[in-house]
Structure 1
Amino acid sequence: MYDLLVKNGKIVTAEAVECGNIAIQNGKIAAILAEGEEPEAAKVIDAKGNYVFPGAIDTHAHLNDPGYEWREDYAHGTAAAAVGGYTTIVDMPLQNEPALTNAELFDIKNAKVGPNAYVDYCFWGGLIPDNFDDLKGLDEKGCVAFKSFIGPVSPDYSSLNYGQAYEAMQIIKEFDGRAGFHCEDFATIKWQEQRMKKEGRLDWQGFLDSRPVIAEMLATVDIIEIAKATGCKAHICHVSSPDVAQKIKEAQQEGYDITAETCTHYLSMTDKDVIENGPLFKCAPPLRSQEEVDRLWSYVEDGTFSGIASDHSPCSYDEKFNEILGQKINNVFDVWGGISGIQSGMQVSFYEGCVKRGVSPTVLANAMAKKPAEAFGIYGQKGDIRIGFDADLVILDPEKEWEITSESLLYVNQISAFVGMKGKGLPVCTIVRGNVVAEDGKITGEKGCGHLVTKLR
């Protein structure tokens, strides 16, 4: 007898959508059965003809734990992820105190957050100018990639220049790691910010003009060239521009292991939202035009992206509208940059892609599960509906209509640019390693049921 049977579902993989049943034993997918084959199981979930996706993987989340739990913590952040259909998150090393930059801190962080996780989690390792000697140790602990900035970042986490990126990628190549970058050119942005302030352009159009696509393009192209020169695997974080995505696609076609992600907000929101609504829509890179949003979807469809991430970057209401750490917000450049979206990612991606644009659900299974698992070295355990893989599943009702409200959000701070958005197609059941952790917008799993996931060796 199996532990769990998920029956009557439309099983979605990167290759096909097929009606069938999924049998689960000891947290693993034990059998994939044809419609009508219903072996005995201790528990049966009737999917009722809804889609059954592989659990989504959020390749880019800032859960701020430890150190800034008043922005977000693991209990709230992973609960929100579970309700939204992300069964594994890859947590960023910054906006932590301290940032995850050595092996000792890996153990300290894991001991702190593990007892509070509702979904499985991986760690990005930090990559800063003074921790090159710690990178191998972080890899040995299990970090799935290493995150750095080529653009401006908060004072407690230093950016790399291109020379430092070259050296770091030589080191990371030696242990077959992956270097990830926030690609916006530092000099371009700093100059543009000074220019906007000098010209008195302290409005939202001034902010958008301070971070033009060319800044994202310059940094991305340079990192790609360094990756080619060093042979290091690279990951380009939160791509906002289809023109940048094209450069990544060309490198992939040349045979280089360059992966990339985009984010739900870049696939659903535009620069007009920033101008009309301001603080909640500020992020970096910034939101682009509707024409760019539409073109970006073509790179989701063709497999360029290994992740539709949330880049969940939470903050308090004050940090968007009043003050940050005691410093008064005087203009748009002082406003906290980041969008909270870990709970909304899958439903918005399904609505924008499958409902509005007619994208096949297989595209989302590929972009949100299979390719992220491959990129971060956990495919075989995560990322697919195959025998022997972890039983991470999301049942999504394609006909269920929704509206995102503040009250529905499980974040520490119930604010988000996604509030007010309406659509159709909603995760109604989330299963992590055979355990039902969320149903109908509510947490049903036990705190601490999430496990640390490290690279498969």
Structure 2
Amino acid sequence: MNCDLLVKNGRVVTAEGVDAADVVVKDGRVAALLSPGAREDVRADRVLDAAGKLVLPGAIDVHAHLNDPGFTWREDFAHGTAAAAAGGVTTVVDMPLQNEPALTNAEIFARKHEAVREKALVDYAFWGGLTGDNLDRMHELHEAGVTSFKVFLGPVSPDYRTLDLGVVREALEIAASFGGLLGFHAEDYSIIRHEEDRAIRAGRTGRPDFLRSRPVDAERIATAGVIELARATGARVHICHVSHPEVAELIRRARAEGLSVTGETCTHYLVFGEDDVLERGMLFKCAPPLRDSAAREGLWDYVVDGTLACVASDHSPCAPQEKDESEGAFKAWGGISGIQSLMAVFFDRAVHRRGLSPSLVAARLSEGPARIFGLWGRKGTIRVGSDADLVILDPNRGWRITEESLQYLNRISAFVGLEGKGVPETTIVRGRVVWSDGAVRAPFGCGQLVRRRGA
């Protein structure tokens, strides 16, 4: 058998298990999985020896803000996808906001693709945006290939819009007609705005005041409303960045009823807590906010049982000055840069610190995202016929995140200083090595647009 690439001697990880196997790659896809000793007839143009290491499916980060086009002083596709490659992420599903303009119709989809296509180091897909005045463009966005539609129920930046549940209900009815997926930033607008205004009127604008302005009640109420509308319309809904087990429990119960409700959490909710905001400042500000230690530990149960089928980064970079809190915590940028650390951090916390199988990493970073966001069959696992999106990871090699190690345009992150074990050493996209030995190994522009299956 002639092939382009042979990854030999590794232990291949899927959501189903970990098995010793050699991966044969031809024309960008997995051509065969061979048991040890069965590769004598394989003739490969390139051979990578993964002895002592794991071979995982590339991570699919379904929640990232790469800010391109429009806000490229925060991040751009070149830096963002280089960081993704460095961290074992082979497909990025980019959000429609922190783009200028927001991705709300098929024409903007095409323009965004044109703007980023020569910068991408890994594959990418797009969320579509819902801003209330573009419900009549949902079908065309679906046909263009968006994986999903992003809705904000809580406060959002001026370039986007918060939607009320009446508009959301109509959008869900439309989405149900073609099997579309709506993803929600689920926090109640009225609670948050009232608490912010009350704090500001009293001259309370510090770190504790920001945390109090976004109580878990606001997240729970908004999520419950979305679930009720999913029940009423039969539409598919996805709750983004779940921060608390009480919210995850609502999703679990909805799924037990047979509703099409899925959820994700993010590595920062699994690692950090509200004390980090209080003690270390605005690098840890995000929305929903970090919760207490009991909530952080409780989220893991819902990750393990599959209620939260995706773990994403919600990579939301900014320039350093935007984290300044000299005018109070409310005005500082809310977001954490985390795409590069997604796989390493989750692997360390799941496998080394909790004794869980590496299969959980494949399930939550690859298979779950691919199934929910319409990429399954091409992305999300290592099997014959799938794209050869592979990560060779040394499970016992230690790492420490430093500013110098980050590939971001702005090298700031709450994850700086964190230590663990499990380094994604080599990242392969469709059979091509894009990152290895700490450096980019392919030309920018080799990443490709991936459309939802059926588009």
Q: Same fold (TM over 0.5)?
A: yes
Question: Which whole-Å deviations, capped at 9, do the CAs of 1:218-253 have from their partners, x for residues lacking one?
Answer: 001100110111111011100011111111011111
* 2:392 alignment partner, one of 392, 395, 399: 395
Question: Which whole-Å deviations, capped at 9, do the CAs of 1:251-301 have from their partners, x for residues lacking one?
Answer: 111111111110010111111100001111000000111111111111111
Q: Determine the C-alpha separation between the residues in 2 that align with 1:414 and 1:440.
A: 20
In structure 2, what is the equivalent of residue 15 of structure 1? Answer: 16
Question: Which whole-Å deviations, capped at 9, do the CAs of 1:348-401 have from their partners, x for residues lacking one?
Answer: 001111111111111111111011100011100000111000000111111111
In structure 2, what is the equivalent of residue 158 of structure 1? Answer: 161
Are 1:298 and 2:301 an aligned pair?
yes
CA RMSD of aligned residues (A): 0.9
In structure 2, what is the equivalent of residue 237 of structure 1? Answer: 240
In structure 1, what is the equivalent of residue 345 of structure 2? Answer: 348
AA in 1 matched with 2:152: F
Q: TM-score, normalised by structure 1?
A: 0.97
In structure 2, what is the equivalent of residue 112 of structure 1? Answer: 115
AA in 2 matched with 1:22: V
Deviation at residue 441 of structure 1 after TM alignment: 2.5
Q: Determine the C-alpha separation between the residues in 1 that align with 2:101 and 2:375.
A: 26
In structure 1, what is the equivalent of residue 439 of structure 2? Answer: 442
Q: Determine the C-alpha separation between the residues in 2 that align with 1:106 and 1:290.
A: 40
In structure 2, what is the equivalent of residue 417 of structure 1? Answer: 414
In structure 1, what is the equivalent of residue 250 of structure 2? Answer: 247
In structure 2, what is the equivalent of residue 325 of structure 1? Answer: none
Deviation at residue 456 of structure 1 after TM alignment: 1.0
Deviation at residue 198 of structure 1 after TM alignment: 2.7
In structure 2, what is the equivalent of residue 32 of structure 1? Answer: 33
Q: After the TM superposition, which residues 59-138 of structure 1 pair with which residues of structure 2 at under 5 Å, given as runs?
A: 59-138=62-141
| Greater displacement, 34-43 / 431-440 | 34-43
Are 1:309 and 2:312 an aligned pair?
yes
Local SS of the residue matching 1:65: coil
Q: Determine the C-alpha separation between the residues in 2 that align with 1:443 and 1:344.
A: 16
Are 1:380 and 2:377 an aligned pair?
yes
Q: Determine the C-alpha separation between the residues in 1 that align with 2:186 and 2:333.
A: 19
Local SS of the residue matching 1:261: strand
Local SS of the residue matching 1:384: coil
* 2:180 alignment partner, one of 159, 168, 177: 177
Verify the 8 A CA contact 1:427 1:440 in the aligned structure 2: no
Local SS of the residue matching 1:338: coil
* 1:275 alignment partner, one of 278, 287, 293: 278
AA in 2 matched with 1:28: R
Q: Determine the C-alpha separation between the residues in 1 that align with 2:57 and 2:130.
A: 30
Deviation at residue 17 of structure 1 after TM alignment: 0.6
Verify the 8 A CA contact 1:20 1:36 in the aligned structure 2: no
Local SS of the residue matching 2:387: coil
Are 1:193 and 2:196 an aligned pair?
yes
Deviation at residue 143 of structure 1 after TM alignment: 0.4
Are 1:142 and 2:145 an aligned pair?
yes
Q: Determine the C-alpha separation between the residues in 2 that align with 1:7 and 1:293.
A: 38
Q: Determine the C-alpha separation between the residues in 1 that align with 2:446 and 2:426.
A: 16
AA in 1 matched with 2:317: P
Q: Determine the C-alpha separation between the residues in 2 that align with 1:202 and 1:138.
A: 40
AA in 1 matched with 2:158: P
* 2:451 alignment partner, one of 451, 454, 457: 454
Verify the 8 A CA contact 1:281 1:338 in the aligned structure 2: yes
Local SS of the residue matching 1:5: strand
Deviation at residue 156 of structure 1 after TM alignment: 1.5
In structure 1, what is the equivalent of residue 265 of structure 2? Answer: 262
Deviation at residue 306 of structure 1 after TM alignment: 2.7
Verify the 8 A CA contact 1:14 1:362 in the aligned structure 2: yes
Q: Determine the C-alpha separation between the residues in 2 that align with 1:442 and 1:249.
A: 41
Question: Which whole-Å deviations, capped at 9, do the CAs of 1:100-124 have from their partners, x for residues lacking one?
Answer: 0011001000001011100000000
Deviation at residue 305 of structure 1 after TM alignment: 1.9
Local SS of the residue matching 1:12: strand
AA in 2 matched with 1:197: I
Local SS of the residue matching 2:404: helix
AA in 2 matched with 1:205: P
Q: Which runs of 5+ in 2 are unaligned?
A: none
AA in 2 matched with 1:21: D
AA in 2 matched with 1:148: V
Deviation at residue 453 of structure 1 after TM alignment: 0.5
AA in 2 matched with 1:380: G
Question: Which whole-Å deviations, capped at 9, do the CAs of 1:289-342 have from their partners, x for residues lacking one?
Answer: 1111111111111111232111010100111117xxxxxx51100000000011
Q: Determine the C-alpha separation between the residues in 2 that align with 1:77 and 1:335.
A: 22
Q: Determine the C-alpha separation between the residues in 2 that align with 1:268 and 1:290.
A: 9
AA in 2 matched with 1:348: V
Verify the 8 A CA contact 1:6 1:21 in the aligned structure 2: yes
AA in 1 matched with 2:154: G
Q: Which runs of 5+ in 1 are unaligned?
A: 323-328
% identity of equivalent residues: 55
Verify the 8 A CA contact 1:13 1:53 in the aligned structure 2: yes
AA in 2 matched with 1:75: A
Q: Determine the C-alpha separation between the residues in 2 that align with 1:202 and 1:455.
A: 43
Local SS of the residue matching 1:107: helix
